């Protein structure tokens, strides 16, 4: 694979996004303490961020096709930078929530364009590898974010200065590589639809029929898995979807986190708008339902719920782990904010290994094993009264979470009966709902009951995902009359 200037520019955009994503999670509780608001109100910042993802998903690829990928990408950088500065300067919840919404608009534009451009620039063969590298770099850079937040908060300057690094990173990219041409949308002879890459860790993804995405989760370029559905046993329509998901979450989102999806249409394909003889050629069997329209099977909607569970756990842990850590171990706010580093380290290592495991282990067995690992990690973290044991538990939880969102995405695409574009588009709703809703519910619960009791929401989601997994991977055969 050739890595030219455009490749490195997109890699660095994903790295800057990864840094922001893993700053955002720990910052929510710190900002809530500064503003003197309840945990439920603090969690609304994640909801505002996710809401922006829904709106960007509704836009689809229209901004890229109207203004070009380059302008859209730099506009996203500007919006994200402005949102971060407003977020750091906020003195009231109204301002900070508006800033979180603005951050979401910018972040989703950045991750959508970067993921789509990488997939198209390197093609169906090398594209997944490029996305793997981009998300690996994002995860590596992202690990520094919670550490810097903790250091800044404990040493005196304040956690907000760690977030100011985000506009500095994008400004440096604009000055040093701003003239680099970014591969644009293919408009002649073929149509190309790309999906955003989910961020490592809490990853969020957005998508539409035009530009579908699957992430994670503020997950996390995380939070995102780096395997393609073709790499997962049983996944379908790999020719249409060379890289429908990548680690990201997440983001996702989470969750972080990211995926790419390119769907080239041959000029001689029966579905090509430029094909003069399309209707008459009996070359390939066609489904009575278009791949981008029509209803989806019941098994798909079970996989959709599986995605909700995986993203909900990832985002909730990312936003509120530091709260339980402070409550159980007596750590300071700044020190507890570094907890996300342990989660991201587990996500990063798990996704490196998970890609290979997905080639050898059936999807349902691998997902079930990941849930078991996650439950063990949660038990360690939940019961810990000393920091080192809590960090170990978070690391193990990160290992378990690392493959859950990517595998849920693969299960959904496999169950979609060939409608990969529509499937990934609908998953955007699942990821944004989970990323915005689950942390809010957990924050609300911590206001009403002890933090430790409220955290039992996470194992409930994990255990609920097991029967859902069975429904999505073992659908009932259609009845014959």
What are the boundaries of each domain within the chain? 1-186+193-263+294-481
How far is C-alpha 402 from the geometric centre of its chain's CA atoms? 11
Tens of pLDDT, residue by residue over 16-29, are 999 998 899 889 98
Q: How far apart are the first and last CA of the chain?
A: 52
Q: In degrees, to the nearest 5, what angle opens at C-alpha 349 toward C-alphas 146 and 244?
A: 95
Give the confidence band of 421 by pLDDT, cuts at 50, 70, 90: low
Do the Cβ atoms of 222 and 343 come closer than 8 Å?
no
Give the confidence band of 199 by pLDDT, cuts at 50, 70, 90: very low
Give the confidence band of 190 by pLDDT, cuts at 50, 70, 90: very low
Rounded Cα gap, residues 213 and 111, in angstroms: 10
Query: Which pLDDT value is given to residue 96?
Result: 95
Rounded Cα gap, residues 10 and 30, in angstroms: 31
Q: In degrees, to the nearest 5, what angle opens at C-alpha 158 toward C-alphas 152 and 161?
A: 80
Only one residue has tokens 């998970």, namely: 354
The model carries a pTM of 0.70
263-287: average pLDDT: 36
Rounded Cα gap, residues 439 and 424, in angstroms: 23
Q: Is 222 helix (H, G, I), strand (E, B) or coil?
A: strand
Give the confidence band of 285 by pLDDT, cuts at 50, 70, 90: very low
Residue 161: CB atoms within 10 A of its CB come to 16
Is pLDDT of 226 > 80? no
**Share above pLDDT 90 across residues of the chain, in percent, rounded to a whole number:** 31
* Sequential DSSP letters for 315-340: HHHHHHHHHHHHHHH---HHHHHTHH
Could you name the CATH architecture of 1-186+193-263+294-481?
Up-down Bundle (1.20)
Query: Which pLDDT value is given to residue 410?
Result: 82
User: Residue 294 to residues 8, 209, 369: CA-CA distances in angstroms?
Assistant: 39, 12, 34
- Residue 151 token pair: 């250091």
Is pLDDT of 323 > 50? yes
Rounded Cα gap, residues 429 and 166, in angstroms: 27
Rounded Cα gap, residues 47 and 204, in angstroms: 11
Do the Cβ atoms of 455 and 383 come closer than 8 Å?
no
- Which is more confidently placed, 400 or 202? 400
Give the confidence band of 269 by pLDDT, cuts at 50, 70, 90: very low
Query: Which of 39-53, 147-161, 179-193, 427-441 is predicted least confidently?
Result: 179-193
Spell out the SS3 assignment of 23-92.
HHHHHHHHHHHHHCCCHHHHHHHHHHHHHHHHHHHHHCCHHHHHHCHHHHHHHHHHHHHHHHHHHHHCCC
Tens of pLDDT, residue by residue over 48-71, are 998 998 888 788 778 888 888 889
């Amino acid at each position: 694979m050739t890595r030219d200037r455009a490749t490195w520019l997109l890699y660095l955009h994903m790295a800057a996004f990864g840094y922001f994503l893993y700053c955002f999670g720990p910052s929510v509780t710190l900002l809530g303490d500064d503003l003197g608001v309840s945990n439920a109100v603090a969690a609304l910042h994640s909801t505002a961020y996710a809401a922006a993802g829904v709106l960007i998903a509704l836009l689809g690829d229209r901004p890229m096709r109207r203004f070009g990928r380059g302008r859209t990408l730099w506009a996203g950088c500007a919006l994200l930078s402005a949102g971060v500065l407003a977020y750091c300067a906020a003195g009231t919840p109204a301002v900070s929530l508006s800033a979180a919404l603005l951050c979401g608009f910018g972040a989703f534009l950045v991750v959508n364009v970067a993921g789509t451009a990488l997939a198209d620039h390197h093609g169906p063969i090398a594209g997944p590898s490029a996305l793997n590298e981009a998300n690996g770099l994002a995860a590596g850079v992202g690990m520094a974010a919670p550490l810097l937040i903790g250091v800044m908060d404990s040493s005196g300057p304040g956690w907000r200065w760690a977030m100011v690094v985000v506009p500095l990173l994008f400004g440096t990219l604009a000055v040093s590589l701003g003239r680099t041409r970014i591969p644009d949308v293919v408009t002649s002879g073929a149509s190309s639809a790309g999906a955003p890459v989910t961020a490592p860790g809490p990853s969020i993804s957005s998508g539409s029929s035009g530009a579908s995405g699957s992430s994670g989760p503020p997950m996390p370029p995380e939070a995102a898995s780096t395997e393609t559905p073709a790499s997962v046993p049983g996944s379908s329509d790999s020719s249409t979807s060379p890289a429908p998901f990548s680690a990201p979450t997440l983001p996702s989102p989470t969750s972080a986190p990211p995926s790419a999806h390119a769907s080239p249409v041959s000029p001689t394909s029966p579905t090509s708008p430029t094909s003069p003889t399309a209707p008459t050629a009996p070359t390939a069997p066609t489904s009575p339902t278009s791949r981008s329209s029509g209803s989806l099977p019941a098994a798909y909607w079970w996989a959709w719920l599986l995605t909700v569970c995986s993203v909900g756990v990832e985002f909730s842990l990312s936003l509120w782990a530091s709260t339980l850590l402070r409550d159980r171990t007596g750590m300071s706010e700044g020190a507890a904010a570094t907890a996300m580093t342990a989660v991201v380290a587990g996500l990063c290592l798990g996704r490196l290994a998970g890609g290979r495991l997905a080639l050898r282990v059936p999807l349902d067995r691998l997902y079930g094993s990941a849930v078991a690992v996650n439950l063990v990690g949660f038990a360690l973290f939940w019961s810990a009264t000393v920091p080192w044991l809590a960090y170990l538990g978070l690391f193990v939880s990160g290992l378990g979470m690392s493959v859950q969102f990517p595998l849920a995405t693969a299960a959904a695409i496999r169950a979609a009966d060939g409608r990969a574009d529509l499937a990934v588009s609908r998953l955007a709703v699942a990821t944004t709902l989970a990323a915005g809703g689950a942390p809010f519910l957990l924050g609300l619960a911590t206001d009403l009951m002890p933090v430790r009791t409220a955290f039992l929401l996470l194992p409930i989601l994990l255990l609920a995902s097991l029967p859902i997994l069975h429904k999505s991977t073992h659908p009932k055969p259609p009845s014959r009359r």
